[in-house]
């Protein structure tokens, strides 16, 4: 855990900078607002979902419990007719932003700590600004972007939304890399 003792400052400063940048992206610039659409019949869909009393979970429509079903013409027809959806249902009630923001900040600290650990173990001897940026930037870019790309591949997240997430990740990785390089112990 010596990496924490040596690199606690860039871990925390980069987490704060990423938190502020993400807040600006989502609350000031709002470039993700167009990624979320409203169903024309939202109230009817809500009523149907409520009538089924689903628990908070991830759902797939149409649901395929066994890949053998994919050979069944009636089941294939459901896919062809649509809709085909991945649906995440949360517990009823207003979003709890405080908890989500707290978890997001903890996540940024965790990413910084992992980057600190790997950077400290790989950057041996005297290092320069760009060497620190290269290692920390690459690690944190993958951490911030990977989940969104997987969602594009497997969950059907629109690629335009994924592209915005990649841009967010590039901003967060750049902030983290520059912070680490600036505060790297010499």
User: Please, what is the angle between helix 159-183 and helix 97-122, to 10°?
Assistant: 60
Cα radius of gyration (the chain): 21
Residues facing residue 86 across a β-bridge: 60
Structure pTM?
A: 0.92
Q: What is the pLDDT of residue 1?
A: 78
CA 135 to CA 130: how far, in whole Å? 9
Residue 169's CB is within 10 A of a number of other CB atoms, namely: 21
Q: What is the pLDDT along the chain (186 residues), one digit of tens a residue?
A: 788 999 999 999 999 999 999 999 999 999 999 999 999 999 999 999 999 999 999 999 999 888 999 889 999 999 999 999 999 999 999 999 999 999 999 999 999 999 999 999 999 989 999 999 999 999 999 999 999 999 999 999 999 999 999 999 999 999 999 999 999 998
Distance of CA 66 to the CA centre of its chain: 29
Look-up: residue for tokens 């990413």?
111
Q: What is the pLDDT of residue 40?
A: 97
Where exactly are the structural domains of the chain? 2-53+95-183, 57-90
């Amino acid at each position: 855990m010596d990496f924490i003792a040596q690199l606690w400052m860039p871990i925390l400063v980069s987490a704060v900078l990423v938190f502020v940048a993400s807040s600006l992206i989502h609350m000031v610039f709002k470039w993700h607002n167009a990624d979320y659409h409203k169903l024309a019949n939202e109230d009817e869909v809500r009523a149907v979902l409520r009538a089924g009393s689903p628990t908070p979970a991830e759902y797939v429509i149409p649901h395929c419990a066994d890949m053998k079903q994919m050979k069944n013409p009636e089941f294939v027809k459901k896919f062809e007719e649509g809709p085909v959806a991945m649906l995440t249902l949360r517990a009823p009630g207003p979003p709890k932003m405080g908890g989500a923001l707290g978890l997001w900040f903890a996540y940024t600290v965790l990413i910084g700590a992992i980057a600190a650990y790997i950077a400290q173990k790989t950057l041996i001897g005297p290092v320069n600004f760009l060497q620190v940026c290269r290692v920390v930037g690459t690690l944190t870019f993958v951490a911030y972007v990977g989940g969104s790309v997987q969602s594009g591949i497997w969950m059907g997240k629109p690629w335009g939304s994924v592209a915005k997430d990649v841009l967010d990740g590039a901003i967060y990785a750049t902030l983290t890399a520059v912070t680490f390089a600036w505060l790297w112990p010499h």
